[in-house]
Amino acid sequence: MADLTRDDILKLAALSRIDLTDNEVDEFAGEISEILKYVEHLNEIDVDGLQPTSQVTGLVNVTRKDEIQGYGYEPKDLLKNVPEVEEDQIKVKRMIG
């Protein structure tokens, strides 16, 4: 499976929606084939009994808690500073059609 044909590369290029020159098709056929051979080699490694590794830093839940914070202003007070308000929202000029 590791040796890709010219048609395989052209199909991949079409699926990726990229245009390739004839030289690029030949170049990528060799490069991608080598990558696939390496992946096939990795598939031969015995990993029975090993635990999957999802992250290696040891960090756990480094995000802050999602809490409402008061900043001393009410939304109605802030809306006093804008030119136009409609239904407690800032009204702006129409941008699309």
Asked if residue 16 is part of any domain, the answer here is: yes
Domain count within the chain: 1
Q: Is the residue at 36 inside a domain?
A: yes
The pLDDT-based confidence of 92 (bands split at 50, 70, 90) is very high
**H helices present in 21-97, as ranges:** 22-43, 75-79
Tell me whether residue 32 is in a domain: yes
pLDDT digits 0-9 by tens, 2-45: 688 899 999 999 999 999 999 999 999 999 999 999 999 888 89
User: In terms of Cα–Cα distance, which of 21, 24, 25 is closest to 6?
Assistant: 25
Domain housing 34: 6-43
pLDDT digits (tens, 9 = 90+) for 77-89: 889 999 999 998 9
> What's this model's pTM, rounded to 2 decimal places?
0.47
